[in-house]
Structure 1
Amino acid sequence: MASKFGMAGGIPERRVRPVWDAIDSRQLKNALKLSTALLSKYPNSSYALVMKALKALILERMGKMEESLSVCISAKDLLYKNDSFLIDDLTLSTLQIVFQRLDHLDMATSCYEYACGKFPNNLELMMGLFNCYVREYSFVKQQQIAIKMYKVAGEERFLLWAVCSIQLQVFCGNEGEKLLQLAEGLLKKHIATHSLHEPEALSVYISLLEQQAKFSDASEVLSGNLGSLIMIEVDKLRIQGRLLARAGDYDGAADIFQKVLKLCPDDWECFHHYLGCLLEDDCSLPRMANSPSVQMSTSIDCQHRHLADDVFDSRISRVSEFVANLMTEPGSDSIRGPGLDNLEIERRKIIFGKGNAGKLMEDLILYFSRFGHLASFTADVLVFLQVLSSDLKRQFLEKLLRCIDSSSTPSRHVLGQHITFFKIRELIGGTFSLPVGDLVDFAVQMTEMYCQNLSLSKDLDVQESLYGEELLSMSCNVLVQVSNYFYHHQYYNTFPKDLLKFK
């Protein structure tokens, strides 16, 4: 921090730097002592405001909130009353940090507003004020100060800040057509004179056009000279597919998403968009980028009953054939995407009334044999387990247990499969319905498995987590449930004896 403290030379500067050094090294008592001494010795120095800000920061870090707030308010009063004090962004940002932690961000904003009024063309102060407005969710004021910075510096980033502030106003309000037209006009004027130079700028421009449902215009921009800003071809294809889908050209969008999946077969979101376009499923169609109110859903409630049976069959066959081809590509054994795609296809068939839950369970077993050792497996299959009946879930657990490698030699692969089995068992709900004795045996089994596989972690760094540590937390969770059971049933005398197994 001390290196950021740019001030003119002299005795005050030489004595202020040790305060920063003490703060950086967390020697707060020493820092407080130094800052108090300097304030008492140089009460009228141009650095008094700086020292008050530092003292407030020190007190806040020491947990002395009331004293810190008092010093902050005193510094704020000095700022307003005496024009001779040094005012820089570092001082104000320090006050902002403390005011924010003390839940008085409005005071920090007023300090920046005063400083910007005194130095109207200071970009650092204006950026600090912009950050204050961001933290206050003052979108209109964000827009105003961003446009002012753009007029002062003419930089692209400030215009984008203004445009994003306008978009936020529209997202959070009702009247937005004129504001969006204003933002589009500002961008077009800038493009005409300066063009765009960053991929993020093009993304903002396209999202602005999308927000106005100008999908054709956005596609033209993407295919024009500005489209060259997006250097990665697959990123451009994703945007192109989204624009076509939102414009209602589902066939064209499906073709584009198919190209993306050929390049990135592990793109799970893109597969949902691809399937959504073919089935015209509103739950899976791509939404506007950066929209906080709409998210892709994989809920089992997604419906596409409006498709005729023969149309559904032909489109599902197209998807199935495409995924089958993906699975034959070199390297497909190491990626989860195509396997998940097969599961999703079968799930959609079940939703439509043409699927087979038994087939879905067999696909889940196949997926487990390939990726059951991964920590992500449980989250991967959660939505598909919801489709299975209770009886099929029980059969699924039995088949999982038979599928686990029975090798006696410890290996990370087998350990991962066992952990996944325990997680799935707990997720399905078959664990805590067991008798108390079986639950204790279950906890013992997981703990013993952890101990038996400790040799796998012998080469790990001391700061790394040991393989299978999840088993301990899961075992403790089971024992907590057991203890709760005994507590509620008041089996105080039998509780210690039943836990002797775990000891």
Structure 2
Amino acid sequence: MASKFGMAGGIPERRVRPIWDAIDSRQFKNALKLSASLLTKYPKSPYALALKALILERMGKSDEALSVCLNAKELLYTNDSILIDDLTLSTLQIVFQRLDHLDMATSCYEYACGKFPNNLELMMGLFNCYVREYSFVKQQQIAIKMYKIVGEERFLLWAVCSIQLQFFCGNGGEKLLLLAEGLLKKHIASHSLHEPEALIVYISVLEQQSKYGDALEILSGKLGSLIMIEVDRLRMQGRLLARAGDYAAAASIFQKVLELCPDDWECFLHYLGCLLEDDSSWCKGASSDPIHPPKSVDCKLLHLTDEVFDSCISNASDLVEKLLAEASNDSIRCPHLANLEIERRKLLYGKGDDNKLIEALMQYFFRFGHLACFTSDIEVFLQVLTHDKKAQFLEKLIKSRESLTMVPIKVLGQSITVFKIQELVGNLFTLPTGDLEGFAVQMAEIYCKNLPLSKDLDEQESMHGEEPSLYGMQCVGSVILAY
């Protein structure tokens, strides 16, 4: 607590603690009463005013809160004897931000930094204000200033990331990246790098300039040891090799990753793309979202001869068979999805068989059809099938109900999956009214039949497979409304 309050604005902690305790427990009337008592003793304290503004804002009295904040801001600007500290400014910042006046909080920090130019805490607060305002140039400037004062690696990285954000937004071009690279090189020469994040940022700066050879050299050198997890280092190496156009070497690296992490679906897509010398994942403008990696990528296959294509697909199939044979966990989905992707590529190339893809989809259903993610998993593979073939797959799914697993929870998941596929294929609302009635009744019966599965769950959970269950009831409502 002492580190939290200290002597903010010259006010002892023992006088401030009860107010924060009341705020944290949402006893705002009591907090306001305590705040009024504090202001009686410290009427000219910006921190005491900031606390009152915070309480008023939490009580929904926005206009009063803003007025009190402006009074505190005026005191900071006009009274040179007042102690300016980060806790006072951060409290004001919270209120100004919640009142949609972040620019006023920024001006307070700018004033404080001008008055105390080498105060690191105040400068970090100002940096955070610029971050919230997306002021990338000002972020860079204040981060470099902090780096020059203390020489810490983190401030250099803040500056470099600010430069990269400017580049991403098209506000500077290649010269900005050269500046970032120069800053990093100078720091490495004098201090080296000590955090894996620093190396990742350095490599990303080189990668953005297409300096893949330099990045690979650094990754394989002494600094590469900062990436202590082998598969992470291999993934970076494979990506750099692929971007450099060395697809054979990249495929070999991605194969190593798959052997270490057989459930890495994104890595399999990269591996197959490199085998087929397809730059869809690596060319400029290609989507690269580490949080939501794509289920598939666009394919460029026309440059391949039949012989080369067959050889690549054979190599990929051999690897998938090896991964399946060595899989020790039944929940691993990547090798099974990989079989579907291989059949998809065959169809796109013109050498595939619709029936083989449907059979592979059925096998995937029997293994993973109870999962809520099943429909999103196979959606991209259904796109390469004709409407008639989709209908054929759906018919097989419906018939498979007779041979579903005997585990009740999985039966529920598989049944809901069949409903989802019916909606995805698009024939649900083309059925006659009588069929729709029966369909709605069937879903409602499945839902009611499986309600007992919820009896052993925690009170905060509604039932097993909550997502598909809610989806099922939504479908019931949709069908009823439709007919």
- Shorter-chain TM-score above 0.5: yes
Unpaired stretches in structure 1, ≥5 consecutive residues:
487-503
Rounded to whole Å, the distance in 2 between the matches of 1:306 and 1:423 is: 37
Question: Could you tell me whether the CA contact under 8 Å between 1:277 and 1:285 is conserved in 2?
Answer: no
Instruction: Tell whether 2:114 aligns with 1:117.
Output: yes
Which residue does 1:15 correspond to in 2? 15
Give 1:476 deviation, angstroms.
Answer: 4.2
CA RMSD of aligned residues (A): 2.6
Unpaired stretches in structure 2, ≥5 consecutive residues:
none
Which residue does 2:387 correspond to in 1? 390
Rounded to whole Å, the distance in 1 between the matches of 2:56 and 2:364 is: 56
Identity %: 72
Rounded to whole Å, the distance in 2 between the matches of 1:9 and 1:120 is: 19
Rounded to whole Å, the distance in 2 between the matches of 1:405 and 1:203 is: 52
Give 1:214 deviation, angstroms.
Answer: 0.9
Q: How does 1:25-424 map to 2 (within 5 A)?
A: 25-44=25-44, 48-173=45-170, 175-285=172-282, 302-331=299-328, 333-404=330-401, 406=403, 411-424=408-421
Q: How does 1:442-481 map to 2 (within 5 A)?
A: 442-470=439-467, 473-481=470-478
Q: Deviations over 1:108-146 (max 9, x none)?
A: 111111111111111111111111111111111111111
Rounded to whole Å, the distance in 2 between the matches of 1:214 and 1:9 is: 51
SS in 2 for 1:304: coil
Rounded to whole Å, the distance in 2 between the matches of 1:228 and 1:479 is: 56
Question: Could you tell me whether the CA contact under 8 Å between 1:273 and 1:285 is conserved in 2?
Answer: no
SS in 2 for 1:419: helix
Counterpart of 1:192, as a letter, is: A
Mean alpha-carbon deviation: is it higher for 295-304 or for 358-367? Answer: 295-304
* CA 481–456 in structure 1, closer or farther in 2 if over 3 Å, else same: closer
* CA 364–290 in structure 1, closer or farther in 2 if over 3 Å, else same: closer
Q: Deviations over 1:447-487 (max 9, x none)?
A: 2222222332222111123114446533543454356547x
Question: Could you tell me whether the CA contact under 8 Å between 1:113 and 1:129 is conserved in 2?
Answer: yes
Give 1:444 deviation, angstroms.
Answer: 2.6
Give 1:206 deviation, angstroms.
Answer: 0.7
Rounded to whole Å, the distance in 1 between the matches of 2:8 and 2:167 is: 45
Question: Could you tell me whether the CA contact under 8 Å between 1:439 and 1:478 is conserved in 2?
Answer: no
SS in 2 for 1:265: coil
Counterpart of 2:82, as a letter, is: F
SS in 2 for 1:30: helix
Rounded to whole Å, the distance in 2 between the matches of 1:122 and 1:446 is: 65
Rounded to whole Å, the distance in 1 between the matches of 2:284 and 2:376 is: 23
SS in 2 for 1:284: coil
Q: How does 1:1-12 map to 2 (within 5 A)?
A: 4-7=4-7
SS in 1 for 2:80: coil
Which residue does 2:428 correspond to in 1? 431
Give 1:84 deviation, angstroms.
Answer: 2.4
* CA 471–166 in structure 1, closer or farther in 2 if over 3 Å, else same: closer
Question: Could you tell me whether the CA contact under 8 Å between 1:254 and 1:274 is conserved in 2?
Answer: yes
Rounded to whole Å, the distance in 2 between the matches of 1:430 and 1:481 is: 14
Give 1:174 deviation, angstroms.
Answer: 5.2
SS in 1 for 2:164: helix
Question: Could you tell me whether the CA contact under 8 Å between 2:9 and 2:46 is conserved in 1?
Answer: no
* CA 386–275 in structure 1, closer or farther in 2 if over 3 Å, else same: same
Give 1:2 deviation, angstroms.
Answer: 8.1
